[in-house]
A and B are shown apart, each in its own frame.
Chain A
């Protein structure tokens, strides 16, 4: 899976958890905070994405990225 596919997966998980964003265009420079995602939703999105990628990674390793694109880069690097 390439990096853009990881980003697409992340955005799909985000739309599942936050149905309000189903129709909103979302790109890699968007951050979850800017999109109005709360901390519990953020954790669920990350866990769902890790499961979809079959990644066994402590959540603490996902701190740091400033937007969805950087998060996709990080996840892609762990595959």
Chain B
């Protein structure tokens, strides 16, 4: 049914590769190394006991007027920058604001700034800025976006850990299909982690890299036998979804299921269910998928189970790459920027390499590694998994 089709009309992106989708696709295809020791204030323990590796982005461009910009945190300013890029490309100034929705993927987005505020105001608590009373809510990014751009349909944030961005895309597509709006923006927000969060993730065994601590460029190794955990990467992306077909391509199907885990444990059964449901909604079989944008974090157990899932679902024929090997793990933003990367690769007719995939743990899958390669994507599968058993899959189709 034509009016149930949803396509991507605009993309905005930011990560350690730079600002804008052009920097993203260029850096991805080049397989650029942007890993280093994290330097943003609040990212390393004050006692000097940490040297967390990851990826940080340049300062957001000045888009907001100074009066508003001074009240917006780093993640909020990044959100505005990617929204601005996507909004302009999609030409949304001409759309009835009441037919535009916004879903911001991500929760607990500003913990680094909260930690810095605690330190700054510890001995003068009575002078906490009044604005903190509303900025600490994740929904402040929603409010900032809707007060800057004409979005008057609906708007809210959602949390699904590292799958937040992909779930935002899924819900945005569903909102259009349900007729709630004609346009819906899915925004994967910056997960602005503090060193406390990073310490926890390391203690949990999810985050690397002890093995490559002195060689940041080698540390992030999804699906490689020498992987030892994910590495954090600042990221943010916005996708403008519209009713119809064209643009960068379509959201053909999608599903999110819960597998009953509370913490970080991956679950192949849940992953398979999500993929099967997404394919069913798209009305196609796994054999029709020619490209998989993997979740691919670089955690040993996560990679192993994901590879087994892809194999068991009959995706051996599809090319597979993992964007986190280049951008780092954007957590809340990861799913959104990787959906964006999938469409940008579709548009470019090329697939980016998976960095550091020297010895694939499963040599029977069709990895893109070593360098970019030409490939015209027709049907892509994007998978995105989050702590608390959140398994998400999206089927993406090339434009007609």
Residues of A within 8 A of B (CB): 17-20, 40, 43-44, 47-48, 50-51, 56
Residue of A nearest to B70 (CB): A19
What is the bound-complex CA distance between A51 and B128, given in angstroms? 11
Contacting A at CB under 8 A, from B97-133, are: 124, 126-127, 129-131
| Beta-carbon contact of A47 and B130 below 8 Å | yes
| Beta-carbon contact of A20 and B130 below 8 Å | no
Min Cβ gap A59→B in Å is 9
A interface SS class:
helix
Cβ–Cβ < 8 Å partners of B363 in chain A = none
With A19-B66, A20-B67 as given contacts, are A40 and B131 in contact (CB-CB < 8 Å)? Answer: yes
With A19-B66, A19-B67, A20-B67 as given contacts, are A43 and B127 in contact (CB-CB < 8 Å)? Answer: no
| Beta-carbon contact of A47 and B67 below 8 Å | no
Cβ–Cβ < 8 Å partners of B263 in chain A = none
| Beta-carbon contact of A44 and B130 below 8 Å | yes
| Beta-carbon contact of A43 and B130 below 8 Å | yes
Between-chain CB contacts (< 8 Å), 7 pairs: A18-B67, A20-B66, A20-B67, A40-B130, A44-B131, A47-B127, A51-B127
What is the bound-complex CA distance between A44 and B65, given in angstroms? 18
What is the bound-complex CA distance between A18 and B127, given in angstroms? 18
What is the bound-complex CA distance between A43 and B127, given in angstroms? 10
Cβ–Cβ < 8 Å partners of B65 in chain A = 20
Residue of A nearest to B133 (CB): A40
Chain B interface category by residue count: 10 to 19
Min Cβ gap A37→B in Å is 10
| Beta-carbon contact of A44 and B129 below 8 Å | yes
The 4 residue pairs across chains A and B that have the minimum distance between CB atoms: A43-B130, A19-B66, A51-B127, A20-B67
What is the bound-complex CA distance between A17 and B66, given in angstroms? 10
| Beta-carbon contact of B70 and A56 below 8 Å | no
Cβ–Cβ < 8 Å partners of A50 in chain B = 127
What is the bound-complex CA distance between A47 and B126, given in angstroms? 9
Min Cβ gap A34→B in Å is 17
Cβ–Cβ < 8 Å partners of B67 in chain A = 18-20
| Beta-carbon contact of B129 and A51 below 8 Å | no
Q: B124 touches which one: A18, A20, A43, A51 (CB < 8 A)? A: A51
What is the bound-complex CA distance between A17 and B65, given in angstroms? 13
Cβ–Cβ < 8 Å partners of B70 in chain A = 17, 19
What is the bound-complex CA distance between A38 and B124, given in angstroms? 24
| Beta-carbon contact of B126 and A56 below 8 Å | yes
Residue of A nearest to B66 (CB): A19
List 14 additional contacts besides A19-B66, A44-B131; criterion CB under 8 Å.
A17-B70, A18-B67, A19-B67, A20-B66, A40-B130, A40-B131, A44-B129, A44-B130, A47-B127, A47-B130, A48-B127, A50-B127, A51-B127, A56-B126
Cβ–Cβ < 8 Å partners of A40 in chain B = 130-131
What is the bound-complex CA distance between A40 and B129, given in angstroms? 9
| Beta-carbon contact of B129 and A47 below 8 Å | yes
What is the bound-complex CA distance between A50 and B129, given in angstroms? 12
Min Cβ gap B378→A in Å is 51
Min Cβ gap A22→B in Å is 9
What is the bound-complex CA distance between A24 and B220, given in angstroms? 52
Min Cβ gap A67→B in Å is 21
Cβ–Cβ < 8 Å partners of A47 in chain B = 127, 129-130
Cβ–Cβ < 8 Å partners of B130 in chain A = 40, 43-44, 47
Residue of B nearest to A20 (CB): B67
Residue of B nearest to A18 (CB): B67
Cβ–Cβ < 8 Å partners of B126 in chain A = 56
What is the bound-complex CA distance between A43 and B298, given in angstroms? 47
Contacting A at CB under 8 A, from B66-85, are: 66-67, 70
Residue of B nearest to A50 (CB): B127
Min Cβ gap B63→A in Å is 15
Cβ–Cβ < 8 Å partners of A17 in chain B = 70
Cβ–Cβ < 8 Å partners of A48 in chain B = 127
Cβ–Cβ < 8 Å partners of A43 in chain B = 130
Residue of A nearest to B134 (CB): A40
Instruction: Render B123-151 as a binary contact track against A, CB cut-off 8 A, 1 for contact.
Output: 01011011100000000000000000000
Min Cβ gap A1→B in Å is 19
